[in-house]
Amino acid sequence: PMEAEAEARLLLLREAQESIEAARSHRRELQQRLRGLQQARHQIRESATLTRDVLEQHFNDLKGTLKKLLDERLTSLLQEVDSIEQESIKPLDECQKLIEQGISTADDLLREGESAVHGDVGQQNEKLCSFTKKALHIQLDSLPEVPSLVDVPCLSAQLDDCLLTILKDEIFRHGTVASRPPVQLEEFVEKPGGILVRWCKVDDDFIPQDYRLQYRKGTASHFEDVYVGSETEFIVLHIDPNVDYQFRVCARGDGRQEWSPWSVPQIGHTTLVPHEWTTGLEGYSLSSRRNIALRNDSQSCGVLYSKAPTYSCGQTLTFRQVLPAIETVGQPDRRDSLGVCVEQQNGYDSLQRDKAVCVSTNGAVFVNGKEMTNQLPAVTSGSTVTFDMEVVQLGPSGNEGGNFKLRVTISSNNREVVFDWVLDQCCGSLYFGCSFSYPGWKVLVF
């Protein structure tokens, strides 16, 4: 009975402990959900505050601009009134001067005539004769033309009240408030020295024409554009490892000029160090980040390898041929190639050797120095060649003489070849390399 009682007590203690652990787990889950609710509430309030600020600023700017435009238009119309008034009054002023001169002359002639008529008898004849001759020269029957009121301008302002109706309709339609953006960030995929960002449309009624992706490093104050186009994914390069970056995306509807609201900013980062070419090889010049190699005009030949074995199975290795085009640098050499290898081997002038897989610039695929029957398109300016590898076998394989097998997929210009690469050693990480005989080849790796 004592043993049974002890076992029952242990069972009760075990059940109680399990209940305690379940309660703790439940509390942690509730606390996590509470934090999620608090973040959601914070996002709603913060976005609402920001939206209010944007609306107030925008409409204040509109009011200022509208007042400025109305003032400019009023000034223009008043100047037009002044111009018409001055041009119309000028001939009337000139006519008035003629009339006033005529009245003055007639007054003088009238006084002279009355003086001649009522003067002394001895001088009357002489004065009358002089007055008569003077009156004949003045042309008393000539009068200036005075325009009638219907022939002179009568200014008025023509103000169409429909402007207020148009403005009212446009103002009431101006601006919208969206509770959710039409596109959202969907996925971040770590790349060596970069992040593959994917986004998707979440509004079924929205028809996108272009997308706009922005990012900022850490807590930087400003976002900057990194991609504008119709694709729904983009590899952002020059990303520092183990540093948080904020991303956001928006879209522009079909036939529209304005961009949609921004998506909810999300944080992405990469833990993978960037791919770099090794320095010091005489035949190649490198960019500042050492991810672009340019075959210079040195006579030295050889294979340019990566600084370290940074390519791992499960990743995608991409080579991109950038300007200048191959046509500007002469014919490619049959030894020219891009690819990956198990180890650096100096003394070779090409990757077409043992323990390496590569693609020549004419599209031929080489595995351990042997050319395959399958062929890819030739590498030209703007071409992109990608390598994808996955482990398909560990351990002895017997017939093929190797104990490590990788399934390799090489893609170029929408074509690909797939084959198994058998090695005699386990390789978790591989080097990449390139070799070119003529100057001008410029290769970006990521």
pLDDT at residue number 332: 75
Q: What is the pLDDT of residue 395?
A: 58
Query: Which one, of 166, 233, 163, 426, lies nearest residue 312 by Cα?
Result: 426
| Alpha carbon distance 7, 3 (integer Å) | 6
Q: What is the pLDDT of residue 342?
A: 92
The DSSP code sequence of 56-110 is: HHHHHHHHHHHHHHHHHHHHHHHHHHHHHHHHHHHHHHHHHHHHHHHHHHHHHHH
Q: What is the pLDDT of residue 398?
A: 46
In order, the DSSP letters of 307-355 are SS--EETTSEEEEEE-SSPGGGS-PPPTT-EEEEESS--TT-SSS-STT
Which amino acid makes up residue 311?
Answer: Y
Tell me how far apart the alpha carbons of residues 18 and 37 are, in angstroms, rounded to a whole number.
Answer: 28
Angle between helices 2-117 and 121-138 (to 10 degrees): 140
User: pLDDT at position 323, please?
Assistant: 57
What is the value of pTM for the model shown? 0.62
Q: How many helices (H) and strands (E) does the chain have?
A: 3, 21
Domains within the chain, CATH numbers bracketed: 25-154 (no CATH), 183-268 (2.60.40.10), 284-445 (2.60.120.920)
pLDDT at 6: 84
The total of other beta-carbon atoms located within 10 Å of residue 412's CB is 20
In order along its 446 residues, the chain shows pLDDT tens digits of 778 888 888 888 999 999 999 999 999 999 999 999 998 899 889 889 988 998 999 999 999 999 999 999 999 999 999 999 999 898 888 888 888 888 888 888 788 777 777 766 666 677 777 777 777 777 666 777 888 888 888 888 888 888 888 888 888 888 888 788 999 999 999 988 899 999 999 988 889 999 999 999 987 889 999 999 999 999 998 898 999 999 999 999 887 888 998 998 999 999 988 999 999 888 899 999 899 999 888 888 889 999 999 998 888 999 988 755 444 455 678 889 999 999 998 888 899 999 999 999 899 999 999 999 989 998 887 889 999 999 887 655 444 445 788 999 999 988 999 999 988 888 878 999 999 988 888 999 99
The pLDDT of residue 141 is 66
Q: CA 242, CA 274: separation in Å to the nearest integer?
A: 12
What residues pair up with 312 in beta bridges, in sequence order?
429
